[in-house]
Amino acid sequence: MTRCLTFLVLTLFAFNAFAKDGSQSAPAEPSDMESIFNGKDLDAWDGDPRLWSVKDGVIHGETTDDTKANGNTFLIWQGGRTKNFELRLSFRCNATNNSGIQYRSKHITDGKVRNKWVVRGYQHEIRNQNELPSVAGFIYDEGGKRGRMSLVGEKTVWSAEGKKIVEKFLDADDYKQLFKLDDWNDVVIIAKGNHLQHYLNNRLIMDCTDGQPERALLDGILALQLHAGKPMFAEFKNVRIKHYE
């Protein structure tokens, strides 16, 4: 009974705050964001050197028929952790496969891992598609049991028991106009406590409150993904972060 009441209060608070705010635009960029990619090399990043490089000033990850990823693999930031933070970057990729931005995640080195750069945790999906629901911006539980935790256009509240309440706020036509196919797209991720928000090209596209205490992630590493399977490329630039208390 207590858990149900707590979930009800949490849900009402989250949706009421969302409705009162009314704004779906990204907040102004803080003046003290820290650049964590120097545009020259992968200093402070660690990943499979066969697959990750710097080309024309951007992080370039690529798999081919001859150079394949042995399972999903990641370029891991070595310069700190993600707890309460704001991350901003731009990405582009092709449509043959998908990528992702891991945050509050864990580097998995024990057990039967398929490569040295396996990561599990919250993932901001990266894709070059504009047809909902399989698009850039939803939150995925990489290596976990909850799959697509909140889709693009959804405000989602997860209960302690693993149930979720969803409110829609962005439709397919809105997203199609927002996303730039075959071009650079701007991402903002803001995580404070158990509240997670994803913005695309200055607009809020996903809002998730993770109220499941045994599975909610409050701290962890930052990483970029190359997906196993079909040959692909993914690129990232202007990567910067701000940490909050």
pLDDT at 234: 98
**Tens digit of each residue's pLDDT, the chain (245 residues):** 555 555 555 555 555 555 445 569 999 999 999 999 999 999 999 999 999 999 999 999 999 999 999 999 999 999 999 999 999 999 999 999 999 999 999 999 999 999 999 999 999 999 999 999 999 999 999 999 999 999 999 999 999 999 999 999 999 999 999 999 999 999 999 999 999 999 999 999 999 999 999 999 999 999 999 999 999 999 999 999 999 99
Query: What is the identity of the amino acid at 228?
Result: A
Rounded to whole angstroms, how far apart are CA atoms 118 and 44? 17
| CATH at 195 | 2.60.120.560
Domain extent for 27: 2-243
- Quote the number of domains for the chain: 1
Q: What is the DSSP letter of 13?
A: H
Between the alpha carbon of residue 136 and those of residues 5, 48, 78, the distances in Å are: 34, 24, 25
What is the SS3 assignment for 136-200?
Answer: CCCEEEECCCCCEEECCCEEEEECCCCCEEEEECCCHHHHHHHCCCCCCEEEEEEEECCEEEEEE
Residue 71 token pair = 């399972």
Going by C-alpha positions, the residue among 217, 216, 201, 192 that lies closest to residue 152 is: 201
pLDDT at 56: 98
- 240 DSSP β-pair partners: 35, 88
Rounded to whole angstroms, how far apart are CA atoms 91 and 16? 32
pLDDT at 225: 99
